[in-house]
A and B are shown apart, each in its own frame.
Chain A
Amino acid sequence: QTVVTQEPSLTVSPGGTVTLTCASSTGAVTSTYYANWFQQKPGQAPRALIYSTYNKHSWTPARFSGSLLGGKAALTLSGAQPEDEAEYYCLLYYGTVVFGGGTKLTVL
């Protein structure tokens, strides 16, 4: 069974930059995996941030960006805000869909 791995937790200072990654047990993540990123705050439904590796939804703040980095999908937050503290999930598409285990991002 395919496993998608994310950092369990990361901390970033307000105004700082942090990169979250998303690795596949099958090998290098490429654009054909159509990586998605979602933000979830406690008690709320997930909110879509990035689709198809790089693309932002119309509501995605400019400080979030998606990329491929070292064989993984990546979400970079530049200029972290206190409201960015949340759980972040990636999703990879293999003909089926697998979510990562999530990264708890603390802004401190």
Chain B
Amino acid sequence: QITLKESGPTLVKPTQTLTLTCTFSGFSLSSSGVGVGWIRQPPGKALEWLALIYWDDDKLYSPSLKSRLTITKDTSKNQVVLSMTNMDPVDTATYYCGHKAPYCSGASCYSYWGQGTLVTVSS
């Protein structure tokens, strides 16, 4: 059974750096074709893809946010960490992590999702 859970601060101040952790179980991030991605959703708005890290440590970032994002993994802890610098109120959103299944092509397939964590950016 695959599960993912996001954790991190619920409130950050403008200009601060947000660090979120995705802790997962039921799969290994060292298995070929597997990845973990981050997706966010501002309140009442659409999903926005942020980043993905593959089993081989290859990384993909949203072009529009690439300068602010860093994604890393700790395979031994079954964790993926996303950092986003220079937070702004427009970054207020629910942040989800998702399991990229090995049977899917590209960075496209998020078969399992965490419950999400709401991050509010406010002074």
Contacts and interface: CB of A to CB of B under 8 A. Distances in A.
Contacts of B104: 34, 36, 51-52
Which interface class (under 10, 10 to 19, 20 to 34, 35 or more) fits B? 20 to 34
Interface stretch (A20-28, A40-48, A62-70, A74-82): A40-48
Interface in B63-120: 63-64, 96, 101, 104-116
Contact of B46 (A48, A89, A95, A96): A89
Contact of B101 (A35, A45, A51, A97): A51
Nearest to A51: B109
A100 B114 CA distance: 20
B11 interface: no
B108 A93 contact: yes
A101 B44 CA distance: 11
By size class, the interface of chain A is 20 to 34
A8 to B, nearest CB: 11
Contacts of A34: 104-106, 108-109
A57 B111 CA distance: 8
Contact of B62 (A35, A40, A96): A96
A101 B46 contact: yes
A61 to B, nearest CB: 16
A47 B99 CA distance: 12
A52 B48 contact: no
Given A99-B48, A99-B49, A52 B109 contact: yes
Contacts of B112: 48
B52 interface: yes
A45 B109 contact: no
A21 B24 CA distance: 32
A91 interface: yes
Interface string A92-108: 11011111111000000
Contact of A48 (B48, B105, B110, B114): B110
